[in-house]
Amino acid sequence: MHRFQIRVYYEDTDMAGIVYHANYLKFIERARSDWVKQQGLDQNAMREEDGIVFVVRRIEADYLMTAKYDDALEVRTTVKSMTGVRLIMTQEVMRGEEAVFRAEVTAVCVTRDGQPARLPKALRQQVH
């Protein structure tokens, strides 16, 4: 399981001081990017040298509780399944041991012209 720390800043909240719903997607994106880097992949090199990039194909999200200004949160990312072309991850935003947000994210790779591509071999070998 990958863990990524987040602090809720004023800019992350709405008028009530509660994390604005779309910002949870930003939080989990940062955590996925960090996870990819920890897998030894350089996304800039993937784009420039291999001509492929990761894209989100699907997100199913549940807002469970509110997070507020100055909360210390942790995004926990777990690989649920992976095929040659699809990576499915479960991501939870936690405040302590309480889940405030949960999502299942399906990511794929595409070429520069938007055509489907296989996930990087190094990732497929490392995660399996």
Copy the structure tokens of residue 55: 């894209």
- CA atoms within a 13 Å half-sphere pointing along the CA-CB vector of 100: 24
14 flagged as catalytic: yes
**Kind and range of the H or E element at 84?**
none
Q: Alpha helix locations (H) across 23-112?
A: 23-38, 43-45
CB atoms under 10 Å from CB of 87, counted, come to: 22
Catalytic residue (choose from 14, 42, 50, 70): 14
Is the torsion defined by CA of 37, 10, 106, 102 positive or negative?
Answer: positive
Q: Specify which residues 67 forms β-bridges with.
A: none
The residues annotated with a catalytic role in the active site are 14
